[in-house]
Structure 1
């Protein structure tokens, strides 16, 4: 059975269709419209499983959050979501799959900040290797050879 056409929101970058087209799930708090079809979250993580998250405050007003239930690190600055780093964790290796910065905040190095925070978190845990799947993450590791020992050997 094909899915029904739904609402298209081109400005929302973290959107995926769920429940055979009956619901639009918007992650990252980018959509502020309240609707029965749209699930939104705010940087305060209202309605989310806060127990499964790790937060740390960085310098200059940054807030880095490991949203374990969404398998991503998020970076907020002054209450705004600025960058996201998606990952897959299999218990031995954390595959950093995609670094993304919201277009209006690009050009300020926020993707580097979220990758650096994620790497620091993985080092602190001390029980995982990193697989740099995303090209940006691979370039970040090339620019920071002091963390090369953290990379998984293929």
Structure 2
């Protein structure tokens, strides 16, 4: 497997992971004035178990942190679980989602 390259695709409101130029997965989001709402994450079957989902989550959450203007509402079970396993990202969560 090649390196996972993640980018933000504002036009389709999702973060995309590519391996060797091929779309390997994505994390969809919606924006409000104060939130980035992660709604769905999907990894292509051929790339499951290869760190694509983790690369997506880390890049997306680092991007939210870097922008510093919104909090995260993790409706997507994958993103929520990833944050639970990486508590250093918990401060990004919207107060209503912690606990």
- Provide the TM-score with structure 2 as the length reference: 0.90
1:92 aligns with 2:31: no
The answer to whether 1:115 aligns with 2:63 is no
The two structures, once aligned, show a CA RMSD in angstroms of: 1.1
Q: Of 72, 75, 79, which residue of structure 2 is paired with 1:137?
A: 79
Q: Which has the higher contact order (CA 8 A, sep 6+)?
A: 2
Q: Which runs of 5+ in 1 are unaligned?
A: 1-59
Matches within 5 A, 1:12-91: 61-91=3-33
Q: CA deviation at 1:74?
A: 0.2
CA deviation profile, 1:88-124 (whole Å, cap 9, x unmatched): 0112100011110011111112111101000011111
Distance 1:112 1:83 in 2: 11
Q: Which runs of 5+ in 2 are unaligned?
A: none
Q: Per-residue CA shift, 1:47-95, capped at 9, x if unaligned?
A: xxxxxxxxxxxxx633211111111000111111111000001121000
Report the TM-score, using the length of structure 1 for normalisation: 0.59
Q: How many residues align?
A: 95
